[in-house]
Structure 1
Amino acid sequence: MLPRTLAIEIQEALGEYVYALEDPRDGKVFYVGRGVRDRVLHHARDALAGDEPSAKLDRIRAIISEGNEPRAWILRHRLGRRTSAAEMEAVVIDVMSRWHSELLNEVRGAGTEDGIRSLEGLIADHGAEPLQTDRAAIVVNIGRTWVEGITYDNLWDAARKWWTCRPDERRPPSRLLLAEAGNIIRGAWTISLPARRQQVRWADLDDRRRAFLGTEASFDPFVACCFDGQRDAEWDDLVGRHTRPPVLPRSYGSAFRYLNC
């Protein structure tokens, strides 16, 4: 359920933003707006506060009368610091992918760290507790691959390959694999060691990796890990925790970090 107002720290984190309201009864967006602070919540309050005729407010009243509420999506936030053609392209990619059809773009576009999220998801991430574990772990950053609502299979596929690391050589060995995106743990698995290593060819790469590695003509095969494993027994205790410093040091561009080993 959406709050009546947003905490000051969340308002500051959002900055200037673009949002959409979705009707949960049919999954369709019926309103797009922009604002600051808790503007995204004003429409429901306005609908309940009076009977002013308006297509938007009437839609919200109908949703509420059936025991539901509009779902708020933040399409882009912190827009005051940069607005560009690349940013707008990324907004369109996210919106089309979420509500209309699967696009053929290999990557999501610019600024995805501030990309499309449900308001509930943003609030949950902002209030996340720090990651706490004594277990030896390897933390992989799956970055743009993660989107809110990603399937379990796609999440596992993004987390398990291809990493140029040797977790079995750490002391103690890293048998816990954690996938993070946006400084939040999104998945946790117990992996088998030693890790399976193989030469990675162009044919082994998905579209996302190909987009980052260039063209087949310029690609050089490399040796990397592909992990085998299963959902970790402590999934519910680990997923949703934040990795912001000082929980983990900054990665400075590295795709993986070790914890407790």
Structure 2
Amino acid sequence: MSNNTLDPKVRRQVADELGFYVYALLDPRTSVPFYVGKGRGDRFTSHGYEAMYDSESDFDHEVVKSSKVAKIREIRDAGLEPEIWIIRHGMKSDVEYTSVEAACIDLLQSFPVLVTAEGVHRFPNQYLQQLTNARKEASSGNGIMRLTDLIAEMTAPLLSTTMPLLTVTLGGWVETPEGEEMPGGIMRYGYGYKTEWLPSEERKKHYSEIALSASGWWPIRPNEDQKSTIEYAVVIHRGVTRALLRILPGSWVRNPDLKKSAFEYEVVEDGPVFDETVGEFGHREPPRKKGTQNVFYWPRGL
């Protein structure tokens, strides 16, 4: 998905949903940020999309002379576009987003960001081991993401299929070094959804890991009618479908100690059912009622 080919209505929709936000521009050749700014509403196009303008006439005189624009032009002359990362969005006031912007600028001007190897790209929260923090303050779903990934999420079509499904919502990734055995004798050493899987091009490379994470263990006990009716399970993360599994007939396993169930599966990567439930950029799940479990039958109440 190219930022500069987005329909203006899509940009407007994304701008409305972002609220007050702080962003960074990265050099795609090195993955090093070279500018931090803030924006809101219609300023989305004049901030994050500044990299898309074609001529000096699109900028005011002061901006044309800036180091930022010189860097943008250097990147564009190489046939590339700056990466736009939204560091935090959904803030409510000038004071809040100005403070976040100032903290980001202080941090980046105090500690160097290393250049990545050629062909290697950064992903949000890729270097969790760099800090010894035992916990991270909650970002309420508004934490750092690449703009292209946010656009894909916010503009994903609504999941409207009437096909019976098992929907499995995955949270953030959790390591399980001791491992746990899954149906079929497969061992897994973690569950959840990794942030580096958010871009569609990366998600496609990791369908098998996403599927293994989503196959169990869940506090459900499907009856015989549900087992025969529900052929597919769709994986959801951040409210958007990410992968599709075909539940193998007769593969449901019940763990009486955990009082949870799991199943064997085949990954589905294309075809009519895949297009109807996941597709290129996922489908957005309709708003849930408060207290809805992470695993339930679709359509709801099935």
* TM-score, normalised with respect to structure 1: 0.73
Match of 2:274 among 235, 243, 258: 235
The CA deviation at 1:97 is 6.8
The CA deviation at 1:101 is 2.6
Match of 1:67 among 55, 73, 79: 79
* TM-score, normalised with respect to structure 2: 0.64
Instruction: Tell me the equivalent position of 1:36.
Output: 40
State the alpha-carbon separation in 2 of the partners of residues 134 and 25 from structure 1: 44
Instruction: Tell me the equivalent position of 1:191.
Output: 247
Instruction: Tell me the equivalent position of 1:257.
Output: 296
The CA deviation at 1:152 is 2.7
Structure 1 stretch displaced more, 251-260 or 4-13: 4-13
Check conservation: 1:160, 1:226, Cα contact below 8 A.
yes
Matches within 5 A, 1:47-126: 48-49=55-56, 52-80=64-92, 98=124, 101-103=127-129, 109-126=137-154
Deviations 1:190-247 (A, max 9, x none): 0124412225xxxxxxxxxxxxxxxxxxxxx5132222111224334321111114xx
Deviations 1:26-45 (A, max 9, x none): 22222222221214335325
State the alpha-carbon separation in 2 of the partners of residues 63 and 99 from structure 1: 25
The CA deviation at 1:107 is 6.9
Check conservation: 1:168, 1:174, Cα contact below 8 A.
no
Matches within 5 A, 1:208-247: 222-232=258-268, 233=271, 234-239=273-278, 240-245=282-287
Check conservation: 1:21, 1:70, Cα contact below 8 A.
yes
Check conservation: 2:161, 2:276, Cα contact below 8 A.
no
Residues 140 and 109 (structure 1 numbering): CA distance in 2 closer, same or farther, change over 3 Å?
farther
* Alignment root-mean-square deviation, CA: 3.5
% identical aligned pairs:
25
The CA deviation at 1:60 is 0.9
SS in 1 for 2:124: helix
The CA deviation at 1:59 is 1.5
The CA deviation at 1:168 is 4.8
The amino acid across from 2:212 in the alignment is D
Deviations 1:82-132 (A, max 9, x none): 96xxx99xx99xx99737634277876512522222222222222222223
State the alpha-carbon separation in 1 of the partners of residues 76 and 284 from structure 2: 33
State the alpha-carbon separation in 2 of the partners of residues 255 and 106 from structure 1: 25
Check conservation: 1:167, 1:174, Cα contact below 8 A.
no
State the alpha-carbon separation in 1 of the partners of residues 219 and 135 from structure 2: 22
Matched, 1:136 2:148: no
The CA deviation at 1:56 is 2.0
Can you give the 5+ residue segments of structure 1 that lack an aligned partner in the other structure?
Answer: 200-220
Residues 153 and 31 (structure 1 numbering): CA distance in 2 closer, same or farther, change over 3 Å?
farther
State the alpha-carbon separation in 2 of the partners of residues 105 and 164 from structure 1: 31
